Amino acid sequence: MSAGNRSEHSVGSLPRHSGILLFLASAAALYFELVIIRYLSSEVRVFAYLKNMPLIASFFGIGLGMIRGAPSPRLRRAFPALAAILFLLIANSSVLYLTHLPMPTSDFWQFSFGTIPLSLVSLIYVAGVLYFLALVVGLFVVLGGFVGQYLQDLPALKAYGVNLLGSLVGILLFTLLAFLSLPPWVWLLVGFLLLIPFFTGNHRTLAIFVLIVVAVALARPQAMWSPYYRISLEQYPSPPGWSSPSAYKLSVNYDYFQRMLDLSPEFMRQHPGVEPNRMAFPHYELPYHLVPHPENVLVVGAGTGNDVAAALRHGAAHVDAVEIDPLILQLGFRLHPEHPYASPKVTKFNDDARAFFKKTKSRYDLIVFGYLDSHTMLSSYSSVRLENNVYTLQSLQEAKGLLQPNGTMVLAFASGTSFVTERLYQMLTAVFGVPPRAYWSGYDLVGVVFIEGKTSTSAVSGFPEISSTLPVRGDPAVMATDHWPFLFLKKRSIPISVLLVLLSFIALAGFVCRKLLGVQSLVRPEGLHMFFLGAGFLLLETKGVTELALLFGATWITNTVVIAAFLVMAMAANTTIMFRRVSYQLSYVLLFVCLLVAGFFPYAALDALSSIPKVLAAGALTALPVFFSGLVFSRSFQRCSDPAQALGMNLLGAVVGGALENLVMIGGTPLLGVLATVLYATSAIALLKQRGVPEMRATTAVGVS
């Protein structure tokens, strides 16, 4: 570190404080990464379909910043401006008409963006997305620079351990705030507090941080934030003579999501023509044309309670209501006009539907799938959307297994005449062995209802039947399965909308790397070895999230546990190398053995285990490869002449891993393990090319080039 740079810092930058500052910088980097992924996808809707692009941009910025080292005074001064532009754009996206940024939609299904010409849509879309990603990269170049700056002041393995610990704390901190349903201004306040030691004495920067927090707090203060969604609620005017609320509209991430409706006999008798109640009433009555007085009912995707209220109106003895979002469940309990969740006949489960299928021992006369098509992605590290694991062949088979011998399944979906409707029809036919009856429900114009089970042979009067328009094509490749859970993809392909952004970003990132880092520094065997280790690690992380979601549900808890477990495994490997040298050969052999076992092991077999053994077995299978890859990484990191650059190359590799992750939309989730194996094998080849470099036990690191 030059004397000029040192004069820019507070006393906190002295070596004796480097460990604390490295910890804070690492925590802040991972913390802001999750903040941006969550905030962007909620406010600018295209990022709900491109969630791994902010992740890729974050890794690229951090890696580039670490390789370049301590941020220059100019970059430090630019940081608060970058933060202000990015977060104020996000906070005011609806005012600036950025929330529903037009997006090409030809190869996957989503809400329509109107009739803008495709070429113009593509131009606006790519330019808008790249602008946001450029701001993200700029922000993380500074944060990565702080990590790289203090990384060089400590012994290599100790520095890496501090980096991992800080990263783990950053992830857990944001997860806690999300769990508490706190709003974005709190997220930013906590994040900026982590950064205060890096800007001590810079009153201008600290003042801008305060202004950003205040501005974000004042933007849409009425919005509520659950662990999954940005939620807004609007009350419809009650009809004359009706003193209590008759309907609410609930929107998620600026998209209409569901309504809370009074469909009680008293209300419908007095006000039969009031909307939206009149339009929705037939839909919720439909299941009970077939099952007039069900004994035991399961509602998955129970939401605010309309389906639950319908079951109670028709004399259900007991209703199990499953809803993944705790805030939506609370709103239904407090505000639903019929108060279904207050009934002693109802048991509420705040859980993922798929996880509930595996846990419950009950059997049902009627299973009702509410509208689970949420059009959002949950996982910060996966292209799999929240509802996809619920709508697979295996999931529907599990649901069928919960039916009584004469039970009925009713599945509603807002898919209209799209290929999604045809796909669901084919999947239900495959699961039950007979085609379902399909009807237009009249709900929100595009509502479709499928009926399977013993009563599906009976026609439902009053609803247009569309079964004859949905022939079974018998093509298993287009069905959604646990290995290819992309319900909304038209075929096995990467959507053009994803490719346009991904290829444009990779091209620009390659240009920036060549200009700022040079080709020679990027192709050295030492750097390539770390690069491919990073790419393999990210794919393993995505694979872990995907597989454990099938066992324990696609919840924020599953994501956090997987990511935390991977970091803990990396820390355990790092600690091992600090005290005992483990050969590369042994580490790689055990890594490939673990990858092979994990690739062929039937995770569904773990369902037979009780809770604790199931968690331990699944965690070991998923995270153990990270321990052995961590042994390789830590030993290589220990002998690096430039630890900051090595870790930066590792993160640039994660960028490539994030890009390759999209191939699962072609080859399915098992491809993640294959790709990870190939990347780790490539890292071994790069290692062989550098074996002539003398191995040394670094006690201090040299300056960043």
For the chain, the average pLDDT equals 85
Residue 36 lies in a domain: yes
Residues 203 and 234 in one domain: no
Residues 320 and 456 in one domain: yes
Residues 528 and 418 in one domain: no
- 């330019």: which residue's tokens? 127
35-49, 273-287, 613-627: least confidently modelled range: 613-627
What pLDDT, on a 0 to 100 scale, did the predictor assign at position 584? 94
Residues 68 and 143 in one domain: yes
> What pTM was estimated for this model as a whole?
0.87
What pLDDT, on a 0 to 100 scale, did the predictor assign at position 694? 41
How distant, in Å, are the alpha carbons of 46, 176, 457, 688 from that of 693?
Answer: 47, 44, 74, 10
Domain of 37, CATH number, reads 1.20.1250
262-271, 282-291, 441-450, 452-461: least confidently modelled range: 452-461
What pLDDT, on a 0 to 100 scale, did the predictor assign at position 313? 96
The pLDDT-based confidence of 229 (bands split at 50, 70, 90) is confident
- Highest-confidence segment of 204-218, 482-496, 657-671: 204-218
The pLDDT-based confidence of 626 (bands split at 50, 70, 90) is very high
Residues 176 and 276 in one domain: no
What pLDDT, on a 0 to 100 scale, did the predictor assign at position 275? 93
What pLDDT, on a 0 to 100 scale, did the predictor assign at position 377? 35
The pLDDT-based confidence of 185 (bands split at 50, 70, 90) is very high
**657 vs 660: CA distance, rounded Å:** 5
Residue 10 lies in a domain: yes
Residue 529 lies in a domain: yes
pLDDT value at 146 more than 60: yes
Residue 387 lies in a domain: no
For residue 576, with 0-12 CB atoms within 10 Å meaning exposed, 13-18 middle and 19 or more buried, which class applies? middle
The pLDDT-based confidence of 48 (bands split at 50, 70, 90) is confident
DSSP 499-530: HHHHHHHHHHHHHHHHHHH-HHHHHSHHHHHH
Q: Read off the pLDDT of each residue in 6-10 and give the average, rounded to a whole number.
A: 39
What pLDDT, on a 0 to 100 scale, did the predictor assign at position 20? 94
pLDDT value at 204 more than 90: yes
Residues 524 and 415 in one domain: no
Residues 344 and 409 in one domain: yes
pLDDT value at 380 more than 70: no
Residue 378 lies in a domain: no
Residue 582 lies in a domain: yes
Residue 385 lies in a domain: no
Tokens of residue 655, six digits: 């960028």
Residues 522 and 464 in one domain: no
Domain of 335, CATH number, reads 3.40.50.150
pLDDT digits 0-9 by tens, 320-343: 999 989 999 999 999 999 999 999
What pLDDT, on a 0 to 100 scale, did the predictor assign at position 80? 96
For residue 515, with 0-12 CB atoms within 10 Å meaning exposed, 13-18 middle and 19 or more buried, which class applies? exposed
The pLDDT-based confidence of 614 (bands split at 50, 70, 90) is confident
Residue range(s) defining the domain that contains residue 107: 3-223+489-689
Residues 574 and 468 in one domain: no
pLDDT digits 0-9 by tens, 530-578: 999 999 998 988 888 777 777 776 666 677 778 888 888 999 999 999 9
The domain total for the chain is: 2
**693 vs 640: CA distance, rounded Å:** 10
What pLDDT, on a 0 to 100 scale, did the predictor assign at position 515? 83
Residues 217 and 68 in one domain: yes
What pLDDT, on a 0 to 100 scale, did the predictor assign at position 62? 95
Residues 31 and 148 in one domain: yes
What pLDDT, on a 0 to 100 scale, did the predictor assign at position 9? 43
What pLDDT, on a 0 to 100 scale, did the predictor assign at position 625? 93
pLDDT value at 274 more than 70: yes
Residue 698 lies in a domain: no
DSSP 69-89: -SPPHHHHHHHHHHHHHHHHH
Residues 300 and 263 in one domain: yes
